[in-house]
Copies of this chain bind each other. A is one copy, B any other.
Amino acid sequence: MTSARPSTPQPPSRRIAEDLRRQIESGERSPGDKLPSERALAEAYGAARNTAREAIRILAEQGLVTAKHGSGVFVREPQRLFRFGSDRYSLKNRETGLTPFRLEAKKQGKVARIEVPSIAREKPPVDVAERLKVPADEESVVHRENHYFADDEPVQIVSTYLRWDEAQGTLLMQPKTGKDGIYGRLEELGHVMTRVRDEISARMPTPEEAATLELLPGVPVLEVLHTSLDQDGIPFEVSRYVHRADQTGLLYELPVE
């Protein structure tokens, strides 16, 4: 009498989602494959279209499938990961004349493009003010916002904050900052990067970030709040990196003790 093992009889939408998930993970449906249409799924399972649709939503939330309006629902392609390493701040990289991002893009055979949508004097966000040790209630920083693209696809958003009293009237206020970029200029100001502190978290994107990064539903972002410390332990630069997590990984390699 007692049936097999329906410990919790799942609702139809979950059951459909589970079936499809199994098919995808077993390789029965490969990346790029088109799933049956919502209407077809509904009919096959004797359910309403909304129920089939809910099943698709569950899979999309897990990052397994992507809906293309007017076209169909497809099994998501596994993405090659960009890797941003702890060596991205390394001085060695300067010898190449390439920024870390251009270097990584080149490794992946992609064309890097960097936009600088804004450079402005601003009040810093509280977390930035804390780390840069500047007042949060004054326009104490310069905010440089950068957008990074690989083959014209957006990959990361970077907001860099510098002390206004140092950056004022220098190349740090310009889109082109000269040889070795901002770190080159900051070195001339007496700040040699000696230690870095990266605070890493993950979350779902804001609508603005989703739009800028052209993120599909169900793709989180990696946020890195980076602080550069100079030879005297003084923080002289804070940056917030927002990476799309479906194409980006981080790599930290470090000595112990």
Q: Could you list which residues of chain A lie within 8 angstroms of chain B, going by C-beta atoms?
A: 21, 61-63, 81, 83, 86, 89-92, 193-207, 217-218, 220-222, 245-246, 248-257
Q: Is the CB of A196 within 8 A of B254?
A: yes
Copies of the polypeptide in the assembly? 2
A85, chain B: closest CB distance, angstroms: 10
Q: Which of chain B's residues have a CB closer than 8 A to the CB of A203?
A: 63, 220, 245-246
* Docked complex Cα distance between A194 and B90 (Å): 20
Most B C-beta atoms less than 10 A away, residue of A197, A200, A202:
A202
A91, chain B: closest CB distance, angstroms: 5
Q: Is the CB of A256 within 8 A of B81?
A: no
Q: Is the CB of B245 within 8 A of A201?
A: yes
Q: Which of chain B's residues have a CB closer than 8 A to the CB of A217?
A: 61
* Docked complex Cα distance between A57 and B255 (Å): 44
Q: Is the CB of B250 within 8 A of A62?
A: no
* Docked complex Cα distance between A256 and B86 (Å): 9
* Docked complex Cα distance between A81 and B203 (Å): 12
